[in-house]
Amino acid sequence: MTDIWNRLAEHRRAQGDLRIQALFDADPNRAAAFSTQADGLVLDWSKTAIDAAARALLVDLAAPVAARRDAMFAGERINETEDRAVLHTALRNMDGSVMVDGRDVMPEVRDTHARMRDFATRVRDGSFAGKGGKITDVINIGIGGSDLGPAMAVRALQPCHDGPRVHFVSNVDGADIADTLQGLDPATTLVIVASKTFTTIETMTNAATARDWMAQTLTTPAAQFAALSSAQGKTAQWGIDADRVFGFEDWVGGRYSMWGPIGLSLMIAIGPDDFDQFLAGGLAMDRHFRSAPADRNMPILLALVGIWHHQICGYGTRAVLPYDNRLARLPAYLQQLEMESNGKRVAMDGSDLTLPSGPVIWGEPGTNGQHAFYQLIHQGTSIIPCEFMIAARGHEPDLAHHHRLLIANCLAQSEALLRGRPLSEARALMAEKGLTDPELDRQARHRVFPGNRPSTTLVMPELTPFTLGQIVALYEHRVFVEGAILGINSFDQWGVELGKELALKVAPLLDGEPSPDHDPSTLHLAQLLRQMQG
């Protein structure tokens, strides 16, 4: 492996000031040859500096992926620091059997899925009602993986909504729940407490506030609560009837959990059949991931492009730019999926990682981002690989002209990043305006675009439950591949623990209790905030 990394680094050095445009000039078939398709989804990665030799080396780098992938699907305990299997894929494949510790886990998965379908159907048709009648509003209370996936998907699949309104509360900031509860009727609201552990302080604090809010009107608020958790003893302590508790096992990681019970709010919003289409999209990507050769395997190639840009070229961040307003929450969802999974400095075997971990992920939907941070992407001193996403068709037939413009903008941005605008062109533009040197030169230099900035474009026919399932599974597997190649365990998240522990120790400071165990700055800030509270 070290040899391949060295050869890749050497190849990059040898490329010198290669322009991506030169790769297109040399190979008229490049756009097709550096595109990959999977069940109607197409990834074009031709606008990168990866040439045939780099591609071959990168594919060699992916050699360890197949064995680890097969171990994951077979239910082996590949999450070694938590001693757990990693089987979120079982939640989207209802057929067959999957053995964990000698037990087939699929009958229970199917049973829970059937119970979710039944409950969602009853909420939607009114046979499960609140004290005041048919449920009009559902609040999902959760955080991280118990919030970001369903919140992203509910927004993405708005055209499929035909159920009650669905709201999401995650932040422990009381503003979140206060704003959400405003205008809702407790008698027709269903609260879903989504927490794998059922101990997360933000979620349990918000859930208690929601229960108090309901108790002002209803004598038995717990009757309008449901729970999604692997800690079923704790849900019982909360008084939530077992009929409305949907469990899952520890082999489903929080950020990989929207396919099962954590997706209940999505199922209620779009209906069980559309939810099954979402699962079908994920399953289609699983099958592609398991069967396509590495050089045509979309998750493997997407991961390799990322490795080329971050670990080989040294670009520190990656922008995710969906040209779809309904995918507005996708960058936030991917931030948890990618950065909580691969933001690690220790390898699986306990040694220090010798390569950089996964990159910073950020983004906003186009075209909004164009009028905000694209300035830096085009002309800043950092190179930021961009991941564009676009659907061929929109959902608003009467507004086809909007979609035409949306597509044009998406393609124009990746073209502008590739081509740039040389000084000669910028000078010609200034000359047309009647400027002469030295002012012409000064003005022209501000209008130069260096270009040669890499991007990929993911194209889908339309944003549907199926394509969304494909995209989420694509990114899950991309993270998996990156982790396997870097030697990272992508399924634990020890880095979130210290802050949680310290928050519990800091809280007493805010009540004025002395505590010697804090640094002077923290003590100073706590005192300042107390003074400001008056």
Which residues are at the interface with ligand F6P (CB under 6 A)? 143-146, 195-197, 200, 203, 254-255, 340, 493, 496
- Residue of 47, 196, 338, 340 marked catalytic: 340
371 flagged as catalytic: yes
Residues 253 and 246: their CA atoms lie apart, in Å, by: 15
Give, in order, the Cα–Cα distances in Å from 180 to each of 184, 201, 373, 484: 8, 19, 30, 41
**Residue 146 or residue 470: which is nearer to ligand F6P going by CB?**
146
- The structure tokens 């905030």 sit at 529
Write down the least CB distance from residue 254 to ligand F6P, Å: 3
Which residue of this chain has its Cβ atom nearest to ligand F6P in the complex? 254
Structure token pair of residue 6: 């060295």
Phi, then psi, of 388 in degrees rounded to 5:
-85, 150
**Residue 503 or residue 510: which is nearer to ligand F6P going by CB?**
503
**Residue 54 or residue 339: which is nearer to ligand F6P going by CB?**
339
524 flagged as catalytic: no
| Cis amide bond preceding 438, omega within 30 | yes
**Residue 259 or residue 323: which is nearer to ligand F6P going by CB?**
259
Residues 214 and 220: their CA atoms lie apart, in Å, by: 8
Write down the least CB distance from residue 238 to ligand F6P, Å: 13
- Residue of 402, 500, 505, 524 marked catalytic: 500
Give, in order, the Cα–Cα distances in Å from 448 to each of 230, 315, 385, 444: 56, 21, 19, 7
Residues 297 and 303: their CA atoms lie apart, in Å, by: 10
Give, in order, the Cα–Cα distances in Å from 355 to each of 59, 273, 314: 18, 44, 10
**360: enclosing H helix or E strand:** strand 360-362
Write down the least CB distance from residue 203 to ligand F6P, Å: 5
Write down the least CB distance from residue 142 to ligand F6P, Å: 6
**Residue 40 or residue 343: which is nearer to ligand F6P going by CB?**
343
Write down the least CB distance from residue 226 to ligand F6P, Å: 15
Strand-strand pairing, 41-44 and 35-38? antiparallel
Write down the least CB distance from residue 230 to ligand F6P, Å: 8
**Residue 230 or residue 370: which is nearer to ligand F6P going by CB?**
230
Phi, then psi, of 441 in degrees rounded to 5:
-65, -45
Q: Is the dihedral of CA 484, 39, 302, 330 positive or negative?
A: negative
**Residue 196 or residue 477: which is nearer to ligand F6P going by CB?**
196
Phi, then psi, of 386 in degrees rounded to 5:
-115, 140
500 flagged as catalytic: yes
Write down the least CB distance from residue 334 to ligand F6P, Å: 14
Give, in order, the Cα–Cα distances in Å from 419 to each of 14, 31, 253, 348, 380: 22, 15, 42, 41, 16
The residues annotated with a catalytic role in the active site are 340, 371, 500
